[in-house]
A and B are shown apart, each in its own frame.
Chain A
Amino acid sequence: MTQGTYQQTAYRNNLSVIWNEVVKNIKTLLAYPTIIVFWAIFPIFWFIPFILQGEAFVGGLESSSFAQITGTGEYIPFIVIGAILSSYVNTLLYGMGENIRKEAYQGTLDYVLAAPCNKAYVLIGKAVSESLSSTIFAISQLTISVLLFGMNITLGVMLPVSFIIILLILGLYGMSLLMAAFSLMYKQSYDLSESIGYIFYIFAPVRYPVESLPTWAQIIGKFIPLTYALIIVRSLMLLGSDLSSVYLEVIALVIIDVVLLVSGLYMFNKIEKKTRKSGIISHH
């Protein structure tokens, strides 16, 4: 064995990289107490405007025309699910790019990239940290919805719902690799992640049912993982369906995940090499 190298089993080593990345990010987050206050208050502000807007339009919290399109007359759970799943888009796309930008700014990025571990696992650790904050956010929103708006949650559906959220996170992880690559190249990815976020909000059924969109927009929506995640989770939680009745959407989500993960990893490796060649990697 060459001095300085360690031969741990690959999977233990990779888990250790992911775990330590998560611990690092959480400890850093906890070093800023005001962020905790923000996370405690923001979930309420995030979706209440949508609920009030809907109530103003339909004259109450239930609507027969809404029920005709969606199969459920309950507007609040529909909106809450949209808000929760789209918060994963926010944190993963924006969070990953921002995390890489901060590493470059504080000078730690060179050390992370010059270490012998596989960088994909460092990025998984970053994605897991971001997903954890989204999950805390989601739990806060669900709790508020139950307490303030009397939303009913069947615990039995939470397992398949969690499975779908993991599939959504995998697809978003593929996209966040692209954001990380963009941050390496351009030292920020805020504009790109904001733009993608807005595309998601327009073409995926976050605030309205997919049927409200014109046909051409529905076709674009079919390439967005959030579209399938929203359709499946709403079917499970609001219509009482099981996974077998939405298996086509699940398959579509898995296919999009594979495409996004493979292309995201390829692009990250390609751009990382390009920045090491051009010297941009050491700029901040």
Chain B
Amino acid sequence: MAIDKESEEFSIETKDLTKKFAKKKHRGIFGFLRKNQQNNKHNNVTVALDKLNLSIRPGELFGLLGPNGSGKTTTIKCLSTILIPDEGRAIVNGFDTQKETAMVRASLGMVVGGERTLYWKLTARDNLTYFASLYKMPRKKAKIRIEELLETFQLSDRADERLEDYSTGMRQKVAIARALLHDPPILLLDEPTLGLDPGFARQIRRQIRELSEKQGKTVLLTTHYMNEAEQLCDRVAFINNGKIVAVDTPNRLKARVKEKEIVEIAVYSPPADIEKQIRSLLPDAEVVKLIRGNEDEGSPSRIKIIGGTAEEHIGTVIDALRQNNVRIGSLNVGFPTLEDVFIKLTGAKLTEGRT
């Protein structure tokens, strides 16, 4: 089913959506002695969403990309009415999330928190039957729908086994089946492939694509896997520190750095100031970023350089690394990914926390 690109109506629309959280105070019984130190109102508040504006068309598969703590899950929780925003408003399927809560809830299916959010002591069928009742589904209709979904997700053979005996991927399938129980027009999927092995992740991605293309569902997908967003999404929004940094199709976003080559060097044990040293050597490079890896787990750190010409950079950077006794694992010159665009726009990488 095609997206209605001319549509003036949106399945999901937020206007200046703002959500702030009070920081937890751990004062203890003698906390009153420290009262004055913690009295600054601004220091005690985290702005999770900062005047967030989003417009998602009917049938669109829309990706929300950002690092941990950027506001992805808070956006989904505000849209699903689990959280009440402090300012601004959100409209879902034409209903205001604060005034028409029941209709918003009936219009949505969501996957937030993945496999943990099911009853592991119950079977897949029991879980789905229970949640169908919460969505006011008549018993007979629910029974038919549950059979359909078990079939779709290839769970029929093990539908009467407890979830504690399922693999992570199978439980995630049940979580997605639960979101589809009442056949909602809109799906909110928060990191649906997180922690899955590649095989299951591929299956889940294919099913998400089918839900959008064949069933016309509007899907808001949050992820920090760039490949997933590139493969699946019609449009992508970058979110950082609760703000939307850019919204466009993956190709148009990549075109923002397309004419520049990207140099990526895998390195081991780089000194803390290596990023600063390389930046001073390459004044014409737009971005020089050291992305710390986890060497104990076989993941080296990476130095990314965007802008300038690759040949000039390679020689200079290798010299600098040798002088610092840094071991080089590999070197790649390639075309930009969504992560490169994100780095260029925010200076942060998608897999790190709040900047």
Kindly provide the distance from the CB of B30 to the nearest chain A CB, expressed in whole angstroms. Answer: 21
Kindly provide the distance from the CB of A255 to the nearest chain B CB, expressed in whole angstroms. Answer: 32
B305 in contact (CB, < 8 A):
no
Inter-subunit contact B131/A115 (CB<8 Å) = yes
Inter-subunit contact A4/B131 (CB<8 Å) = no
Inter-subunit contact A117/B117 (CB<8 Å) = no
Q: Given that A27-B126, A276-B83 are known contacts, is A111 also in contact with B117, CB under 8 Å in the complex?
A: yes
B122 in contact (CB, < 8 A):
yes
A12 to B137, CA, bound (A): 10
Residue among A3, A13, A122 having the largest count of chain B Cβ atoms under 10 Å: A3
Inter-subunit contact A24/B126 (CB<8 Å) = yes
Inter-subunit contact A117/B135 (CB<8 Å) = yes
Pick the contact of B133 from A20, A32, A114 — CB < 8 Å? A20
A residues less than 8 Å from B21 (CB atoms): 278-279
A residues less than 8 Å from B107 (CB atoms): 2-5
Q: Size band of the A side of the interface?
A: 35 or more
Pick the contact of B118 from A5, A17, A108, A279 — CB < 8 Å? A108
Inter-subunit contact B112/A115 (CB<8 Å) = no
B134 in contact (CB, < 8 A):
yes
B residues less than 8 Å from A4 (CB atoms): 106-109, 182-185
Inter-subunit contact A8/B136 (CB<8 Å) = yes
A281 to B21, CA, bound (A): 12
B residues less than 8 Å from A108 (CB atoms): 117-119
Q: Which residue of A lies closest to B129 (CB)?
A: A20
Kindly provide the distance from the CB of B218 to the nearest chain A CB, expressed in whole angstroms. Answer: 11
B residues less than 8 Å from A24 (CB atoms): 119, 122, 126, 130
B residues less than 8 Å from A114 (CB atoms): 80-82, 105, 108, 110
Inter-subunit contact B182/A6 (CB<8 Å) = yes
A12 to B134, CA, bound (A): 12
Inter-subunit contact A113/B119 (CB<8 Å) = no
Q: Which residue of A lies closest to B121 (CB)?
A: A31
A270 in contact (CB, < 8 A):
no
B residues less than 8 Å from A279 (CB atoms): 19, 21, 83
From 99 to 132 in chain B, residues with beta carbon under 8 angstroms from any chain A beta carbon are: 102-103, 105-110, 112-113, 116-122, 126, 129-131
Inter-subunit contact A2/B162 (CB<8 Å) = no
B residues less than 8 Å from A2 (CB atoms): 93, 103, 106-107, 185
A residues less than 8 Å from B139 (CB atoms): 16
Q: Given that A108-B117, A282-B82 are known contacts, is A20 also in contact with B130, CB under 8 Å in the complex?
A: yes
Q: Which residue of A lies closest to B120 (CB)?
A: A106
**What 1/0 mask marks residues of chain B from 78 to 106 whose CB sits below 8 Å from any chain A CB?**
00111110100000010000000011011
A residues less than 8 Å from B141 (CB atoms): 6
A70 to B119, CA, bound (A): 49
Inter-subunit contact A282/B77 (CB<8 Å) = yes
From 130 to 164 in chain B, residues with beta carbon under 8 angstroms from any chain A beta carbon are: 130-131, 133-139, 141, 162
Q: Which residue of B lies closest to A10 (CB)?
A: B136
B22 in contact (CB, < 8 A):
yes
A73 to B229, CA, bound (A): 78
A residues less than 8 Å from B185 (CB atoms): 2-4
Inter-subunit contact A8/B138 (CB<8 Å) = yes
Inter-subunit contact B77/A112 (CB<8 Å) = no
Pick the contact of B84 from A27, A28, A273 — CB < 8 Å? A273
Q: Which residue of A lies closest to B24 (CB)?
A: A283
B residues less than 8 Å from A17 (CB atoms): 133-134
A residues less than 8 Å from B122 (CB atoms): 24, 27-28, 31
Kindly provide the distance from the CB of B31 to the nearest chain A CB, expressed in whole angstroms. Answer: 17
**30 A-B residue pairs with CB within 8 Å:** A2-B185, A3-B183, A3-B184, A4-B108, A4-B183, A6-B138, A8-B136, A20-B129, A20-B133, A24-B126, A24-B130, A31-B121, A31-B122, A106-B116, A107-B113, A108-B117, A108-B118, A111-B110, A111-B117, A114-B82, A114-B108, A114-B110, A115-B105, A115-B134, A116-B103, A116-B134, A117-B136, A278-B21, A279-B21, A281-B82
Q: Known pairs A5-B182, A108-B118; list 7 more (Cβ under 8 Å).
A: A2-B106, A6-B106, A17-B134, A23-B130, A31-B162, A115-B131, A117-B136
9 A-B pairs with least C-beta separation: A115-B134, A4-B184, A20-B133, A31-B121, A107-B117, A5-B106, A116-B105, A107-B116, A116-B106
